[in-house]
Amino acid sequence: MQQYETYMEKCIELAKQGEGETSPNPMVGCIVLDKSGNVISEGFHAKCGKNHAERDALLKITPEIAKGGTLIVNLEPCSHYGKTPPCADLIIEYGIKKVVIGMRDVNPIVEGNGIKKLTDAGIEVVEGILENEARKLNEIFITNQKEKRTFVALKTATTLDGKIATSIGDSKWITSTPARQEVRRIRKKYDAILTSSSTIIADNPTMEHKNKIILDRTLKTDFKNANIYKSGNIHVFFDKNLTPPQIPDINFIPTPTINEKLDIEFIIKKAYKIGIMSILAECGGKLNGALLNYTDKIYHFLAPKIISDNTAKSAFDGKNITLIRDTLDFKFDDMQTFEPDIMLTYYKMQK
């Protein structure tokens, strides 16, 4: 069993090579052992529409070499025709005798059916190897499939006293170059980044990404000159009672408002409908606060600095809480160091 865990760790690392490219599909890695237990092939799902990990690994070898061997994969092999044929069929064709799986596929088309097809063919299936790690790897895919919604993450960078900028809006740079480099890596994991008109006007960020979601209720940003509009697929959510400018490269989406604020729930549901399976929000304290009820995960960069000014801008500026029992509770998941800063990762807990 320990040997399977070691190989499953490798599968997960292989899967991560497709990070940011496989959506709406999961990230999957695969290792094939011959009947003597030697690694004879590796593969991973590189991009949506490309070969799945099992197919990628098996097609690098012949059935003669693989016959009687073991295939290890972090997600249950598919059993249906999609953009590629069923992986379970190819595994059977190659004469594999044992398949070791991290987790069952949560896609209802596949869930359990891939395993049944394998066992019906006389293949031994071992399940649940590093299942927690396998589930964490594909937390976005699981949310999409089980809850039929977009996974929302939020990134913020603060001082030790929770400030994202001074009272005059100065924020460059709270965190170090290594921390900012990590932010660019995190962005690549998500289908889109989200920010507000206030952040665009204050910082004029570029936020390089293939998809960008801008919340600009009153259409006050400079759509022709602001850095953020110079690249990527742009989706601008605005007050549905206004008339947007005619700019061919920008998708303006009329949005209902609640108390003169854009309806966040509408925005997230609309993102899912247009095929955005995950969002990383990078914005100011007010929008951070508004997003908290819809946020699954937070990346919190913490710099060893203290502003010590109650007029400085806070990371989360939402509703007033008078009782501790009314707070939103989170669970710490991980801590990483990006000298001299740290990054805390935490998830919202369900009450």
Catalytic annotation, residues: 54
Closest CA to 304 of 331, 343, 275: 343
Which residue in the block uniquely carries the two structure tokens 């960069």? 301
Cα 221 to Cα 225: distance, rounded to the nearest angstrom: 9
Q: Nearest-5° angle of CA 342, CA 209, CA 164?
A: 35
Q: What is the 3-state secondary structure (H, E, C) of 64-96?
A: HHHCCCEEEEEECCCCCCCCCCCHHHHHHHCCC
Of 5, 14, 29, 26, nearest to 278 by C-alpha is 26
Does residue 79 contact residue 91 with C-beta atoms inside 8 Å? no
Query: Do 16 and 137 form a contact (C-beta atoms < 8 A)?
Result: yes
